[in-house]
């Protein structure tokens, strides 16, 4: 099924009822922005979660999408890029995708292009080289491209990544043939996801990714007390947290001592020259501001031994 995209609100409304290519990595626990639990809660539809903020990387990618396409067209003049204006959907599976661009003019047939932007440090850390020395995108992006190729029945997919460098704009284009094994795994995981939704089998909490999600799901406390004295994971975690806090406190104290030592050396000097470091100690004006009142839940953990 393919539906023309006439407006962004309509496009967002259609995506609400599908697992989309942009979030498929959550089903493989490799998405940097969408955890398995968040995807489950969103698609379950029982609770309206607050929209995720338009973060710097997401906003950058949205604004520079056409710039990436221009760079790809410059590097691949044989391709004719057409902005995708349709939403592709597998009705039976509940899977949807909207590629950024459709590729025409390639001997293999029609392709799809996914545009990405990143910065040099992130590219070096996350876009690794495979055993043949070829650039290997993060897995969630590969899965996104594979899903888009599958739903559009394209002959191949491509990822164009523009590296935002202050002195140049290098572009990396990676092409992928259709992979039946990956596509079958995507189908299996999406089908399993909707079965879990139907059965109410909620994924485990990702302690690294789901803190804000849990705060949104449980914004108010109830007048009850829960006994966690037999929960070994909680006990071990709190002991580790206590030790980490003590180490952090000692480290922060030492950092403060070093900063004070530098201040004593500088005296009234505004700038200090030190190899490998840029140091200044200047007056900075800060504008006054007011903060609107709010009532957030605040997690407070105190060590009883320290309080005694």
H or E stretch covering 260: helix 232-266
| Mean pLDDT calculated for residue range 130-141 | 88
Q: Which token pair is 308?
A: 């005694």
More confident of the two residues 300 and 7:
7
Summarised one tens digit per residue, pLDDT across range 79-91 is 999 999 999 999 9
Q: What is the predicted pLDDT for the residue at 51?
A: 67
Mean pLDDT computed over 26-45: 92
Which residue in 36, 91, 48, 47 sits closest to 201, CA to CA?
36
Q: Confidence band (pLDDT; 50, 70, 90) for 134? A: confident
Q: Using one digit for the tens of pLDDT, what is the confidence trace for 188-229?
A: 999 999 999 999 999 999 999 999 888 888 888 899 999 999
**160-183 mean pLDDT:** 93
Q: What is the pLDDT of residue 303?
A: 66
Q: In this structure, are residues 114 and 158 in contact, taking their beta carbons and an 8 Å threshold?
A: yes
Looking up tokens 């349709």 gives: 86
Cα separation, 145 vs 158, whole angstroms: 7
Determine the pLDDT at residue 105. Answer: 96
Where are any strands of DSSP class E within the chain? 2-4, 19-20, 80-83, 86-90, 95-97, 101-104, 111-118, 128-129, 135-136, 156-163, 171-177, 271-274, 277-280
* Tens digits of residue pLDDT in 251-280: 999 999 999 999 999 999 999 998 888 899
Comparing 175 with 297, the larger pLDDT belongs to: 175
Confidence label for 291 from pLDDT (cuts 50, 70 and 90): low
Q: What average pLDDT score do residues 40-61 get?
A: 75
224-249 pLDDT, tens digit per residue, is: 999 999 999 999 999 999 999 999 99
* pTM for the predicted model, two decimal places: 0.79
- For residues 105 and 64, give the distance between their C-alpha atoms in angstroms, rounded to a whole number: 24
């Amino acid at each position: 099924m393919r539906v023309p995209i006439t407006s962004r609100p309509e496009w967002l409304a259609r995506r609400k009822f599908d697992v989309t290519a942009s979030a498929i990595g959550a089903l493989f626990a490799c998405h940097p922005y969408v955890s398995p639990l968040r995807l489950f809660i969103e698609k379950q539809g029982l609770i309206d979660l607050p929209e995720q903020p338009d973060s710097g990387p997401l906003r950058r990618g949205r604004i520079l999408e056409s710039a990436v396409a221009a760079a790809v067209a410059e590097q691949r003049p044989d391709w004719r890029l057409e902005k995708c204006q349709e939403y592709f959907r597998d009705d039976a599976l509940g899977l949807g995708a909207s590629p950024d661009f459709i590729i025409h003019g390639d001997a293999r047939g029609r392709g799809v292009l996914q545009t990405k932007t990143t910065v040099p440090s992130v590219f070096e850390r996350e876009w690794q080289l495979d055993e043949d020395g070829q650039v290997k995108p993060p897995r969630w992006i590969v899965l996104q491209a594979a899903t888009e190729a599958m739903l559009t029945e394209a002959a191949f997919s491509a990822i164009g990544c523009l590296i935002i460098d202050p002195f140049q704009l290098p572009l990396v284009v990676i092409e992928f043939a259709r992979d039946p094994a990956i596509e079958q795994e995507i189908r299996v995981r999406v089908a399993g996801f909707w079965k879990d939704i139907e059965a109410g089998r909620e994924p485990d909490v990702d302690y690294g990714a789901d803190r804000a999600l849990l705060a949104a799901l449980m914004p108010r406390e109830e007048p009850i007390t829960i006994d966690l004295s037999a929960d070994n994971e909680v006990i071990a975690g709190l002991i580790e947290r206590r030790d980490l806090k003590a180490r952090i406190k000692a480290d922060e104290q030492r950092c403060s001592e070093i900063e004070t030592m530098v201040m004593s050396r500088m005296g009234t000097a505004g700038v200090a020259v030190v190899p490998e470091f840029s140091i200044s100690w200047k007056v900075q004006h800060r504008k006054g501001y007011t903060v609107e009142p709010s009532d957030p839940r605040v997690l407070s953990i105190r060590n009883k031994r320290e309080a005694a």
